[in-house]
Amino acid sequence: MDIFLQLIVSGFLVGGIYALIALGFVLIYKATNIINFATGEFMMIGAYIFYSLMVYLKLSPFIGVPLVIICAALLGVLVERLILRHMLGQPNISIIMVTIGLSSILLGVAEVIWGSEFRSFPPLFPRKPIIIGEIVLRSNLFYGFLLALVVVAVFMLLFKYAKIGVAMRATANDQMAAFSMGINVKTMFTISWAFGAIAASLGGIIIANIGGVQPTLGHIGLKIFPIVILGGLDSIIGAVVGGFIVGIVENLAGGYLDPIFHGGVKDLAPFVVLILILLIKPYGLFGTKEIERL
């Protein structure tokens, strides 16, 4: 019973962090209808930039984090301007494949710059593990979760109340209408990509703080697909709930099944879940079914 509870709680915490990364995906999808396969790579690049700032420039995290936010925003803007702008009006499958190509580029560039070895993060949080009753939680998981929660909350508030958030939601809902209301749709696209990159990068920092950073960190980014399919591609709440569920499921699967299969089940479990969801409820828990016009 102890192990069960332990797995659930730590799964919940890591799920919260996944939710932040999934948010990075949903923000872009909601505003631009583009599936960003490079979300994981945004996450990885954010982690590496932060690592470099901390280790090579010996900056404090309080300067490092804002700098990463700026760099991430820049990355998002560059990607949108240089690549996605040219793909306006192209069929959906082409745009999806562009982001697949993008993920490949970012993965390769990261390895060229930083090499392929694993690097562990300098500690950001106090090292003492957090103990709740019988459950022991690693501090970087616990504090990382709190941080992720804060960022997600900020984004959600931004979306609901800030002018820019409302403008982005309007653009996501109906581009033409937003356009005629004086919203600069192109700018909204760029901003969405910036926000998406920021969310993913912050998630990347938090994850890398727990498990270290290497170019294949981006593969964790692939987990967002089970999350957003489970939650619904265009739902922010879905990303959060989906994140929690996937975090818990993978922890349970890893805890109980890894010993049988000699490892690897933990990373696989979300994708088995994905296939099951596609069978049962493909639009996810909170997603909206598109009504097609003829």
Partner 1 sequence: MYIGDFKEAYASDQAVFVNTTSRFWLGVLFVLLLIFPFVAGDYFLFMANLAGIAIIGAVGLNILTGFAGQISLGHAAFIGVGGYTAAILATRFNLPFLLCLPLSGFMAAFFGIIVGGPSLRLKGLYLCIATLAAQLILEFVFVHWESVTGGIRGINVSSPEIFGFVLDNDFKFYFLTLVMVIICVTAARNLFRTRVGRAFIAIRDRDISAELMGINLMQYKLYAFGISSFFAGISGCLWVNFLKTVTPEHFPLMESVRYLAMIIVGGMGSILGSIFGAIFMTIVPEMIKTILGLLVNIFPTAMSFLFPLQQVIFGLLIVGFLIFEPHGLAEIWYRIKNYFHLWPFDH
The footprint of partner 1 (CB under 8 A) covers 35, 83, 86-87, 90-94, 96-98, 100-112, 115-116, 215, 222, 225-226, 229, 261-262, 264-265, 267-268, 271-272, 274-275, 278-279, 282, 290, 292, 294
Nearby residues of 31 by Cβ (< 8 Å), 6 or more positions away: 168, 171, 172, 188, 189, 191, 192
- The whole-angstrom distance between residue 148's C-alpha and the CA centroid of its chain comes to 11
CB of 130 to partner 1, least distance (A): 32
Between 106 and 178, name the residue whose CB sits nearer to partner 1: 106
Between 90 and 173, name the residue whose CB sits nearer to partner 1: 90
Between 93 and 131, name the residue whose CB sits nearer to partner 1: 93
Nearby residues of 2 by Cβ (< 8 Å), 6 or more positions away: 134, 135
d(CA 69, CA 15): 22
Angle between helices 163-173 and 185-211 (to 10 degrees): 110
Nearby residues of 249 by Cβ (< 8 Å), 6 or more positions away: 11, 269, 270, 273
CB of 278 to partner 1, least distance (A): 5
CB of 113 to partner 1, least distance (A): 9
d(CA 202, CA 73): 11
Between 113 and 177, name the residue whose CB sits nearer to partner 1: 113
CB of 133 to partner 1, least distance (A): 35
Asked whether the beta carbons of 102 and 79 are under 8 A apart, the reply is yes
Between 103 and 201, name the residue whose CB sits nearer to partner 1: 103
CB of 37 to partner 1, least distance (A): 9
CB of 149 to partner 1, least distance (A): 27
Hey, what amino acid is at 279?
L
Between 131 and 294, name the residue whose CB sits nearer to partner 1: 294
- The whole-angstrom distance between residue 94's C-alpha and the CA centroid of its chain comes to 22
Question: In which residue are the tokens 């089970």 written?
Answer: 226
